[in-house]
A and B are shown apart, each in its own frame.
Chain A
Amino acid sequence: QKEVEQNSGPLSVPEGAIASLNCTYSDRGSQSFFWYRQYSGKSPELIMSIYSNGDKEDGRFTAQLNKASQYVSLLIRDSQPSDSATYLCAGAPHAGNMLTFGGGTRLMVKP
Chain B
Amino acid sequence: KAGVTQTPRYLIKTRGQQVTLSCSPISGHRSVSWYQQTPGQGLQFLFEYFSETQRNKGNFPGRFSGRQFSNSRSEMNVSTLELGDSALYLCASSLNGGELFFGEGSRLTVL
Contacts and interface: CB of A to CB of B under 8 A. Distances in A.
Contacts of A34: 98-100
Given A43-B103, A43-B104, A95 B97 contact: yes
Interface in A58-111: 88, 90, 92, 94-104
Interface in B2-29: none
A45 interface: yes
A92 B102 contact: no
Contacts, number: 63
Query: What band does the interface of chain B fall in when counting residues whose beta carbon is under 8 Å from A?
Result: 20 to 34
Given A43-B103, A43-B104, A43-B105, A96 B43 contact: no
Given A96-B48, A96-B56, A101 B42 contact: yes
Contact of B31 (A46, A97, A100): A97
Contact of B97 (A32, A46, A88, A101): A32
A43 to B, nearest CB: 4
Contacts of A32: 97-98
A103 B100 CA distance: 17
Contact of B101 (A46, A88, A104): A46
Nearest to B55: A96
Interface of B: 31, 33, 35, 42-45, 48, 50, 55-56, 58, 90, 92, 94, 97-105
